[in-house]
Amino acid sequence: MKPLNELTIVEARELLDKGEVTSRQLTEACLQQIKSLDGALHAYLEVYEEDALAAANRADDRRAEGSVLGPLDGIPVAIKDNMLLQGKSSTAGSKILQGYTATYDSTVVKKLVDAGSVILGRVNMDEFAMGSSTERSAYGPTKHPRDPERVPGGSSGGSAVAVAADMCLGALGSDTGGSIRQPASLCGIVGLKPTYGRVSRYGLIAMASSLDQIGPMTKCVEDSAIMLEAIQGQDKNDQTSSDEAYFKPFWKKSLQGVKIGLPKQAWTSQGVEDRVKEKTEAAVAALKSAGADLVEIDLPYADEALAVYYILMPCEVSANLSRFDGMRYGLRKQGLPLFETYAQSRAEGFGDEVMRRVLLGAFALSSGYIDAYYVRAKKVQTLIRQAYEHAFQNVDLIVTPTSPTTAFKFGEKMNDPIAMYLEDVFTVSVNVAGVPAISIPCEDDGGMPVGIQLIGKWFDEATLLSAARVLEAQLKTDN
């Protein structure tokens, strides 16, 4: 048997059901891995050791009594630092929230706890989820598990590393423009961004409310399905959450009869590393081997999606972050007049990238510019959504690379915001349109990981995950 912390959720659940391991043993194995590795990798900002062991004991007691809560009962997981857990710190990777203690549970965390999950701790992230490398955390960068001189991606870099380095069995991340899928790609794990509205955002420290979505980061596709089942559903506390039929997985053995589109805008894109091109083209060949019907499609406005995203997102950032003013919670500069309190608290509490995006958003929303920037971007957003609607009339899924690069070195793109923003070139249109997408690893040669992205129809995660699982199996066969 492999070490317990290296198990998938599916494998761990099977052993738990057979009585061959306990939740406490799983939890202790993960905690030991954290103690061994996290000093070097810095995935966790806080570990809830006592609480986790107590939760594991309760799970074992339930199992002994025959009252298991579900497939996640007793499974140790991690949560991103922007999801509230009552009584625990939540900082969104920012100094301005240092010392803030959550007064209520986010819906996703409550659902995990209600499902019996063991919450190991909160993991690192780019400040307020603004970044693609986890270098922007106010509490220090997270390092790539295969090469500590390289970034793990972002903003959910802590979640990705915790899973990839076997410091948990699964984790939650949030995805505004690729923040689940891009670090999943760079770290060689599975990352699922559900349809906008599939999962409640209540208790998520917001970045851009019309784009944010919470999703699972796991070691295999089936694990992502298990976590999505647990956290999905409409929530009266989030009016953007949907009452669409619940996701229920079904697993196909092949892709026979499944039509998958290859958008020419993605597959002829400049700036894609040779390794990414090689591995993703091999994954496309694996889709064909699994029976898929591959067709080239036109997906217009792919280039415009990045520009639209980097207008809409800062506009929402400037509105959402106005609440962090040094008065209600978090960092506060004392003894100053009102305006100076605001200015000094925010100047010391926010990092450079956060201030850049707040300023960009405030400018784009200002009188005289709102029509030229925000209103025009909203119109193009409609065109992007219509482009996906048209594409999905002819195909079941769309496939692209997840990221144009593998993990890059620390500092390589920190002083070049445009280069960092281009990391999201294949992922942002998914958020702009609100469709679901998944990144799965497509290399197994020990080099830096590469991910391939499958994009599905609105609220059709079942088809998306089924195809991803077939591809996952085919890639293992081919390798």
Q: How far apart, in Å, are the Cα atoms of 80 and each of 84, 162, 336?
A: 9, 10, 34
**What pLDDT score does 10 carry?**
98
**What pLDDT score does 421 carry?**
87
* Residue 89 dihedral angles phi and psi, to the nearest 5°: -65, 145
In 3D, which of 308, 300, 302, 348 has the Cα closest to residue 324?
348
User: Exposure of 467 by Cβ count < 10 A (0-12 exposed, 13-18 middle, 19+ buried)?
Assistant: buried
User: Exposure of 248 by Cβ count < 10 A (0-12 exposed, 13-18 middle, 19+ buried)?
Assistant: exposed
Structure-token match 């100076």, residue found:
340
- Catalytic site includes residue 155: yes
Dihedral angle computed from the Cα positions of residues 67, 70, 71 and 76, in that order, rounded to the nearest 10 degrees: -80
- Catalytic site includes residue 95: no
Task: Supply the DSSP symbol for 218.
Answer: E
The answer to whether the CB of 105 falls within 8 A of the CB of 85 is yes
**What pLDDT score does 452 carry?**
98
Pairing of strands 259-263, 451-455: unpaired
Give the active site residue among 23, 137, 155, 429. Answer: 155
CA distance linking residue 272 with residue 251, whole number of Å: 32
Question: In 10 A of CB 221, how many CB atoms?
Answer: 26
Instruction: Please list the rounded mean pLDDT of every run of 10 residues in the chain (479 residues).
Output: 95 97 98 98 98 98 96 98 98 94 97 98 98 97 97 98 98 98 98 98 97 98 98 96 90 96 90 94 96 95 92 96 82 76 85 94 93 96 97 98 96 88 94 98 87 98 98 90
* Residue 196 dihedral angles phi and psi, to the nearest 5°: -60, 125
**Helix 352-364 vs helix 302-320: crossing angle, to nearest 10:** 100
* Domains defined for the chain, CATH in brackets: 4-255 (3.90.1300.10)
3-state SS, residue 120: strand
The C-alpha angle 33, 39, 40, rounded to 5 degrees, equals 100
**What pLDDT score does 336 carry?**
72
The C-alpha angle 50, 122, 325, rounded to 5 degrees, equals 125
CA distance linking residue 55 with residue 119, whole number of Å: 8
Give the active site residue among 94, 179, 345, 403. Answer: 179
Question: What H or E segment, with its residue span, contains residue 174?
Answer: strand 170-175
CA distance linking residue 464 with residue 162, whole number of Å: 25
**What pLDDT score does 355 carry?**
94
In 3D, which of 391, 393, 399 has the Cα closest to residue 467?
399
In 3D, which of 160, 185, 182 has the Cα closest to residue 172?
160
**What pLDDT score does 93 carry?**
97
CA distance linking residue 414 with residue 374, whole number of Å: 26
Give the active site residue among 80, 110, 193, 457. Answer: 80
The answer to whether the CB of 186 falls within 8 A of the CB of 146 is no
CA distance linking residue 121 with residue 219, whole number of Å: 18
Tokens of 470: 């077939």
